[in-house]
A = this chain, B = another copy of it.
């Protein structure tokens, strides 16, 4: 009921938010939940876990396999490939700046990064661990992890599924891409964006795109953590694109809530680094940014955009590519013989 109210709230927001949307630069740091403070040791532990394929049942898939932080934070595939070559049903969203989102997953079903991190490890077609206990047992079998969990979380039994998720979420809160041309422009450097991009910025506002793609992450207003900003897609069904790109096959949030009102309802994805995260939409059906712009204008605003408008909007979206922080490659703690995966 609470979630349904939030959806209603969000829907109202769309229609009441001003078209002359106030653009916002990306803050240097995302919100940090009170029950999971950041520390350098926790970041490092989370980074190890994020890159460790031993969190998957057969030791082949890490978080980074699909949310590749060496590039745009996705795998640039329509849908991801998990253990045993299995394909998922939705396109991997970027992990970059995900810490600024007030809800996670395409359907917004996780309130926090911590909740999100617990999903793929246990998803049959992703990392495929049969249970949280199995994942915990695997990590406990690696002595280096046990030592790090003790140092970071303390207590008698620090290796828990909750703490695995807390460490991963903490690392993810460092995955921020500041200083995009747009951000520099917002902060006063009027030469940071091209004239085309500036025109595109006005166009997305005039057309109404920013009614939903608002907030610091262009993914909806900056709601309190856990409140999903959702939207129907397509808002205007019936265009050529529905069938061409199978836009309505996946019922979105309905698959979680089973409420008719949640059919084809989705969390609004970020625009930041969007040029790095093709192919587009929940099913990755659209390969190019230009086509994605046309599809969105038609399906969400019932507007046909001109080639010039597409070029302007594309230039603006290109100006949202930020600076990727230099990171060291994690060194994973040595397995113990008990942690060696046995396929037999």
Instruction: Choose from B70, B76, B83, B340 the contact partner of A340 (Cβ within 8 Å).
Output: B76
Q: Which residue of B lies closest to A344 (CB)?
A: B78
Within 8 A of B (CB), among A75-92: 75-78, 81, 83-87
Instruction: Choose from B70, B75, B288, B324 the contact partner of A60 (Cβ within 8 Å).
Output: B75
Whether B337 pairs with A278 at a CB distance below 8 angstroms is yes
**Min distance, Cβ A76 to any Cβ of chain B, angstroms:** 5
Q: Which residues of B contact A75 (CB under 8 A)?
A: 53, 59-60
Whether B59 pairs with A76 at a CB distance below 8 angstroms is yes
- The 8 A CB mask of A160-202 against B (1 = contact, 0 = none) is 0000000000000000000000000000000000000000000
Cα A343 to Cα B81 in complex, Å, equals: 11
Within 8 A of B (CB), among A50-80: 51-54, 58-60, 65, 68-72, 75-78
A16 within 8 A of B: no
Q: Which residues of B contact A343 (CB under 8 A)?
A: 77-78, 87
A331 within 8 A of B: yes
Q: Which residues of B contact A72 (CB under 8 A)?
A: 334
A22 within 8 A of B: no
A307 within 8 A of B: no
Cα A342 to Cα B288 in complex, Å, equals: 12
Whether A77 pairs with B59 at a CB distance below 8 angstroms is yes
A279 within 8 A of B: yes
Q: Which residues of B contact A85 (CB under 8 A)?
A: 81, 83-86
Cα A272 to Cα B203 in complex, Å, equals: 60
Q: Which residues of B contact A332 (CB under 8 A)?
A: 68, 70-71
Whether B329 pairs with A275 at a CB distance below 8 angstroms is no
Q: Which residue of B lies closest to A327 (CB)?
A: B329
Instruction: Choose from B60, B328, B335 the contact partner of A329 (Cβ within 8 Å).
Output: B328
Cα A72 to Cα B144 in complex, Å, equals: 14
Q: Which residues of B contact A263 (CB under 8 A)?
A: none
A225 within 8 A of B: no
Q: Which residue of B lies closest to A334 (CB)?
A: B276
**Min distance, Cβ A325 to any Cβ of chain B, angstroms:** 9
**Min distance, Cβ A315 to any Cβ of chain B, angstroms:** 16
Whether A76 pairs with B335 at a CB distance below 8 angstroms is yes
Cα A335 to Cα B70 in complex, Å, equals: 12
A33 within 8 A of B: no
**Min distance, Cβ A85 to any Cβ of chain B, angstroms:** 3
State the 7 A-B residue pairs at the shortest beta-carbon distance, nearest first: A85-B85, A84-B85, A71-B332, A327-B329, A60-B81, A288-B337, A70-B332
In the complex, besides A60-B77, A81-B84, 5 extra interface pairs with C-beta distance below 8 angstroms are A51-B70, A59-B76, A278-B335, A278-B337, A287-B340
